[in-house]
Amino acid sequence: MKSISDLRDRIDSKTWILVLLTILTTSFYPFAWMYKHNQEIFKITRGEKVNNNLVIAIIFLFAINFFIPFYLILLISPPIVLNLFITSKVVLAILVYIWVFKVRDAIQEYALKEYKLDYRMNIYYTFLFSIFYINYCINDLPIEFERKNILLSVKEDDQQEKTTPKTDN
């Protein structure tokens, strides 16, 4: 039987560890995380799949962006390399945001279709914190579902109290 915590259990990574590993690996780890969990996320959510080639392209562009500054130092005429660096940075950012927003949509659709949970992910946080916010929301999904169930049970209890006639002794 499926559970709302399946996605969190399959991904199984804490956001603070993701941030720490990002710092320790000079920003490479989020892209490795993305590659590792891309298929799992879309298999569980059954959302519009993102091809692994997009993730590989993102990693390739990250590698280019990582090594270009070393070439800028070594080259005598770096304007062409600098333009390549800026262009690849912009393309990298666009591709990452395409992936992040597709995952965001898949998670929201999954929560709504499977569990009738209107799970709203903040668009600004998604833009600012991208992969970190996606990971946070994956971890938060079961907690939000429990909150919804608690609120619904309290609401049902209140409704039952209102509809049952009070008897005076």
pLDDT reported for residue 163: 72
pLDDT reported for residue 106: 94
Tens-place pLDDT, residues 113-159: 999 999 999 999 999 999 999 999 999 999 999 999 888 887 776 67
Q: Where are the domains of the chain?
A: 2-160
pLDDT reported for residue 76: 60
Which residues in the chain come in under a pLDDT of 70? Answer: 1, 72, 75-77, 157-158, 164-169
Q: Report yes or no: 30 and 18 within 8 Å, Cβ to Cβ.
A: yes
Residues 6+ apart with CB under 8 A from 33: 13, 18, 131, 135
pLDDT reported for residue 61: 93
Nearest by Cα to 95 from 35, 36, 41: 35
pLDDT reported for residue 79: 76
pLDDT reported for residue 151: 86
pTM, 2 dp = 0.85
pLDDT reported for residue 167: 63
pLDDT reported for residue 3: 87
Q: Where are the alpha helices (DSSP H) in 12-122?
A: 15-24, 29-45, 52-74, 79-115
Nearest by Cα to 91 from 68, 57, 125, 124: 57
